[in-house]
């Protein structure tokens, strides 16, 4: 059975982008068809200025939401990254294989550096090494496939390069992973700025739909989405990014096709109304289950404890072998 690994960072509240781009696929496809591991990657949340209590709360909330979205601990392994030491152990070895030049080329690094500088903050070294730790997350488990949104494909490429380079220099230690090809919803854009992705940020943005947003909040955000001055509904990502984003969200929520859906609508208002309702319906069962799980914190604790134990047992032999191979 193929092995699949993926994760979410507890750097903010989970968004509709995380759900449509990644989590829904983990639930519907990956945990059913593969030996799948899903991880709340809390070490990654320390790469930019952070509040310790908030990261801890968001880790717990992230895991709870993944269960609410349908991850089933009977089918997959769900755990928190910092509970398994092997990630940090392997990351150091991979830093000794990666080059300074290749990590500096990462688009996300450049974007995040610009954002930190604009906020007057210093850039942490861990922001540069972030994709190397991500490679360790993936390689520690002998992962075949990494189902991620579009924004992460460059990082998965790096993990591939590092695995192949390590194997070539020190002997076969790692499976060379590949990114799972994206589907509709692979890149959900910010409703207020449809040229940038809907990412969880430190600020509560009107352009970001969070998984725990109340139905009326979702409606308000979608109805206020930025479109353009045109009137006809056409699917064109370049010329009409706002409308294209709404069509993609609607298609991802209803199982339709954005191009076909564009022919159904004669006004932006009608498109927004249906998109809002479709999002509300997709989020409803997740929010209901989240409420139930919050009433039973011991259950979530238990799932994460078991998950970490299972993950540790899988990662340790691979990481120990890599230590021996590299000369330690
Ligand atoms: P974020 O960028 O929101 O901090 P993470 O790094 O935690 O997200 O990524 C979790 C998963 O969600 C990844 O697979 C990522 O590709 C996916 N993802 C994040 N934002 C979006 C988006 N706007 N559209 C589609 N997928 C996304």
How do residues 127-138 score in pLDDT, each as one tens digit?
999 999 999 999
Average pLDDT on 199-228 reads: 89
Q: What is the mean pLDDT of the chain?
A: 94
Which atom from ligand 1 is nearest to the alpha carbon of 11?
4
- ipTM > 0.85 for the complex: yes
**Is 9 labelled as part of a ligand binding site?**
yes
pLDDT at 184: 58
Q: How far apart are CA 172 and CA 189, in angstroms?
A: 40
Which atom from ligand 1 is nearest to the alpha carbon of 6?
14
Long-range contacts of 115-124 (CB under 8 A, 24+ apart): 116/48, 116/49, 121/48, 121/49, 124/46, 124/47, 124/48
**Catalytic (active site) residue 200:** yes
Distances (CA, A) of 46 to 41, 87, 101, 236, 249: 10, 14, 22, 37, 30
pLDDT at 202: 54
Tell whether the model's pLDDT for residue 295 goes beyond 80.
Answer: yes
Average pLDDT on 236-264 reads: 93
Tokens found for residue 170: 């020190």
CA of 50 to the centre of ligand 1 (A): 19
pLDDT at 203: 61
pLDDT at 231: 80
Percent pLDDT > 70 in the chain is: 97
**Is 197 labelled as part of a ligand binding site?**
yes
**Where do the CATH 3.40.50.620 domains begin and end in the chain?**
3-181+296-326
Pocket, ligand 1, Cβ cutoff 6 A: 6, 8-9, 11, 15, 17-18, 21-22, 148-149, 151-152, 186-188, 197-200
**Catalytic (active site) residue 272:** no
Q: How far apart are CA 291 and CA 121, in angstroms?
A: 36
Tokens found for residue 188: 């959900």
- CATH 3.40.50.620 given to domain 3-181+296-326: yes
Which atom from ligand 1 is nearest to the alpha carbon of 185?
25
3-state secondary structure of 263: coil
**Where do the CATH 1.10.240.10 domains begin and end in the chain?**
215-291
14-63: per-residue pLDDT in tens?
999 999 988 999 999 999 999 999 999 999 999 998 999 999 999 999 99
Percent pLDDT > 90 in the chain is: 86
**Catalytic (active site) residue 197:** yes
The alpha-carbon radius of gyration of the chain (Å, integer) is 20
Long-range contacts of 162-171 (CB under 8 A, 24+ apart): 162/94, 162/97, 162/98, 162/132, 162/135, 163/135, 163/139, 165/97, 166/93, 166/94, 166/97, 166/322, 166/325, 166/326, 169/97, 170/322, 170/325, 170/326, 170/327, 171/325
Count of other CB atoms within 10 angstroms of residue 309 = 13
What is the CATH topology of the domain spanning 215-291?
A: Tyrosyl-Transfer RNA Synthetase (1.10.240)
């Amino acid at each position: 059975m193929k092995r699949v690994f993926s994760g979410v960072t507890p750097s903010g509240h989970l968004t509709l982008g995380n759900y449509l781009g990644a989590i829904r696929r983990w639930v519907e496809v990956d945990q059913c068809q593969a030996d799948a591991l899903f991880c709340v990657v809390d070490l990654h949340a320390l790469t930019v200025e952070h509040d310790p209590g908030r990261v801890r709360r968001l880790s717990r909330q992230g895991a709870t939401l993944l269960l609410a979205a349908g991850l089933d601990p009977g089918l997959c392994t769900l755990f928190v990254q910092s509970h398994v030491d092997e990630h940090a152990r392997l990351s150091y070895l991979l830093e000794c294989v990666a080059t300074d030049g290749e990590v500096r080329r990462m688009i996300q690094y450049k974007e995040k550096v610009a954002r930190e500088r604009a906020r007057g903050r210093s850039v942490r070294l861990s922001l540069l090494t972030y994709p190397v730790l991500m490679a360790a997350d993936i390689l520690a488990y002998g992962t075949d496939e990494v189902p991620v949104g579009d924004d992460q494909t460059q990082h998965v490429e790096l993990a591939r390069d590092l695995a192949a380079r390590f194997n070539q220099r020190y002997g076969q230690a790692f499976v060379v992973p590949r990114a799972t090809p994206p589907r509709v919803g692979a890149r959900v854009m910010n409703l207020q700025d449809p040229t940038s992705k809907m990412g969880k940020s430190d600020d509560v943005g009107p352009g970001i739909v969070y998984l725990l947003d109340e139905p009326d909040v979702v409606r308000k955000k979608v109805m206020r989405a930025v479109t353009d001055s045109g009137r006809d509904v056409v699917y064109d990502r370049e010329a009409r990014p706002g409308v294209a984003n709404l069509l993609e969200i609607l298609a991802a929520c209803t199982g339709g096709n954005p191009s076909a859906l564009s022919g159904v609508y004669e006004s932006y208002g009608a498109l927004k109304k249906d998109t809002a309702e479709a999002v509300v319906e997709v989020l409803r069962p997740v929010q209901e289950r989240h409420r139930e799980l919050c009433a039973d914190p011991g259950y979530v604790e238990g799932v994460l404890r078991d998950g970490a134990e299972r993950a540790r047992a899988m990662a340790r032999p691979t990481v120990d072998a890599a230590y021996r191979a590299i000369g330690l």
